[in-house]
Every structure is written in C-alpha cells, then in structure tokens.
Structure 1
Amino acid sequence: MTSHQPPLWRRAVAELLGTGLLVSIVVGSGIAAQQLSPNDVGLQLLQNSTATVLGLTVLILMLGPVSGAHLNPVISLVDWALGRRSGTGLTLPDLGTYVVAQTVGAIGGSVLANAMFEVGTSISVKDRATTGHLLGEVVATAGLVLLIFALAATKRGVLAAPAVGAYIGAAYWFTSSTSFANPAVTVGRIFSDTFAGIAPVSVPAFVVAQLLGAAVGLGLLLILFPSAARNTGDIVLPHSAEKTSA
C-alpha cells in the first residue's frame, strides 16, 4: 500500500465546491441578516460573522482531507512558494487549477445565494476601497497566512478548522474591511448587490492588499518558523491519506 494525494481533478472539485459554499454562506447570511435586522448594521454583522465562522469551520473539516481546503488563492500561492524551497506543496499546474476552481466556485456561490433568497444577481455598487479598508486587508491576510502555515510548521494542522474559523470571526470585527482576506471570495462578492457585496472598482485594490498581506505573513512565518517549508504538504489539513494498492 502507498499513500498519495487525491488526483488533481478531485482536489479541484473540492476547492470549487468549498469556495462556492463559503461564498454562499457569506453572501446568504448577509442577505438574511439584512432582511431580519434591517435597521441594525451591528447586528447584521454579528449574524453574518457567526454564520461564516461556523460554516468555514465545517467546510475545512469536510474538504480538508481531499484538497487541503485552501479555499483561497493566497493560501495556495504561499503553499506553492514555500514548496519551491523543498520540493513539496503545490506544483505550478496545481496552483493554476486551484486558483481557477476557487474563483469559479466563488462566483457560483454568490449566484446561488442570490437565488436561494430570490434576490436578482446584479453587480454590487458598494465601494469599499478606502485607505483604512486596504490596510485592514493587509492585516487580515497576513494574520491568516501566518496562522495557517504556523500550524502546519508545528504539526498542529488538526487545529486548522477551529483556529481559522475563530480568526476570521475575530477579524470580521477588528479589521475595518471585515476581513475578506481572499481574492476569490472578493471576486465572487462582486455578483451580489447586497450586504456582503463589493463594487468591481474596489476589487483590484483589495486583491493587491491581500497579496501584500500574504507577503507580509510569509515573511513573518519564515522569521518565526524557519522550518515551515518542510511541512507544506499538510496545508490547510493533511490531504495525503488516500490509499491505493502498490
């Protein structure tokens, strides 16, 4: 018996499904919050963040054994970058496939959420690209990258689901941007002109801020955990347990 990762097509399906469901959770709970508490933005954010924390935790537990449950291009990008140092992690074709699957899934997830709540799919007009919001995205993404890869570097990947859920839940509140921290999710949220939407004009700046945050997080990781590159095969959760006959 030998151990290896699931085939790329299966991992891509997991990333597409997971990112789609994540955006459905974010957008759908935002629509529900807007309908249930129309006059209280703070309560809307509480409802939205609570659903996201719980949903993200479940998605990582469910799909992590297949693809690692990256659900985020910056996590896949850092996994690839670290792997170049040790020959582990995602390959370049893996990276491209993951990013496409995540982005397509995110757009589909937004459309699905709109359909479930019978809200027409339309382009958001919510402009979010202020200086404070962009700084918030740098901070949120840097913290997320550092958390995930620090857990892997210290062989505590089993804690990723609750830890990532908790971090995103906190970052909803301590960052001014409400912690998108994910280029695919950012693109997906263009397609819902609701509480969780983002205007297309804001997206390029958000993605740049997220990439900058990923670089900051990677730099901090290599300072604090120099051996991190040797453990990139288990990001976000170990996903090499599939067995086949030798």
Structure 2
Amino acid sequence: MDLGLQGKRAFVSASSTGLGKACALSLAREGAEVWLNGRDEERLVRTADEIQNAVGRRPHTVVGDIDAAEGRAAALAACPAPDILVCNSGGPKPGRMDQWDEAVWNEAVTAKMVSPILLIQSVVGGMRARGSGRIIVITSAMVKTPQLAMALSTGPRAGLTAFCKALAREVAADGVTVNCLLPEKIDTDRLERMTRSLARLRQIDEVAARAEMASTVPAGRFGRPEEVGDACAFLCSSRAGYITGQNLQLDGGAYAGLV
C-alpha cells in the first residue's frame, strides 16, 4: 500500500530514542523527509546513522529541548513548514501526592501539555493554508485509565488530549488531521526501567518482573516500537484523511472499556 508520504516533511520531537525514533524510522521508510530532535547531539547522530543505514537517506537533526522556547525556535528554524508534526516526550516518573509540590506540577504541565500545544500552534496555520497536514501526538494509555501514581502524566496529557480533540474539529475542513496515539507497555528503555523498579519493589529478578508485567496484557507480550511507528505512519498517510480527533490505543487489548 502506497501511503503517499514520499517527500513529505516530517518533524518528530524527542526522536533520538524510543517511540519517537520508531515513528521517525517508519516515516523515513515511507519516503518522508524527516527531522529528528533531541537534547543529546551524540545520540541524535547515532540515530541518524541508523536510519540512514536502514533507508538509504539521512534524516536532518535538530539539537534542542523541545520543552523550552529556544528548542522550539530551533525546530521551527530547521523545519518551518512541516507537512507532518509528531509530538512526543518521555513520561514522568511514577510518584506520590506528597512528592508533588507546585514546582513539580508546573514542570509537568509545561512539558506534557503546554509545550506540545505551543509547537502545534506554530505549524497548524501553515498546514491549513496549504490545505493539508498531519498532527500526531503521542500521549499514554493513562489518559483513559488514570492511575494516581502516574498523575503527573495523566493530568497534563488529558488536557493535551482535550485540546487535540477541539483542534481536530476546527481544522478538518482544511485537510488537516489531528490524532493521538495511546501506547502502553511498549518494549522500550522506559519499560526496562519500570521492570527494574518492579523487580526491586517485589524483590524478584528482572526476568520474573518482566513476565509478570507481560501477563497483564491480553496479547501476552509487550508491544514493539515499530508497531507504534507504523501506526503513526498510517495516520500520517493520504489513506487516513478521514480519520481525525481519535485516540488510538496501542496496548495489546489491555483497555477494558467500551469507548
């Protein structure tokens, strides 16, 4: 299936590792011109090398913290008119209410809600004027299944999801789609850290902790990063022009709700 992504300009934030990297690779494989972003220049170069080796074309790299105004400015200077914007960021650590003072909440809301909204605001006008565009926001399954320990992620990302839903209705007639990906238990470095934390908490080895976590997924396994990347590429494609304002769960069937 031709996804119609050949030559499309795609900026993917926080894409030197994890799910952002997976999305960048899937988009590059479909012929998109990709801009990678991250704070660690050495890691960005390694990721650019990997993608070049995989697809035969080297992605651009933009060093900068996308949560800061300077980082967003650098991104927009490098890729001022993207056809595709993928907003990604790492999840906050689990915690307890007594650990979250005003400064912690301000940081979480800025990073997980305000920053991606500002980035979207910067490019969506151009997409509307050109008559096409794709915005993908990677949030979390916790948006639909909140857990208090993950409130620093759930709260701001729920606000971001509400913004995306409202925006999707506003820009649909201009050929711009806005969709969210809600991953859960994807086999990334973050999952490895969570596995180690569970092993310490339960005083079991990491193999047993990994098996225990996987047992909660109806599919019986963790998701693969490339599955998230390929879902992103499809939603960015010309084939998905009638899909907008949606929250796509990538969780192996773990969500028990109806809607």
Alignment TM-score, normalising by the size of structure 2:
0.30
Report the structure, 1 or 2, having the larger helix content: 1
Report the structure, 1 or 2, having the larger strand content: 2
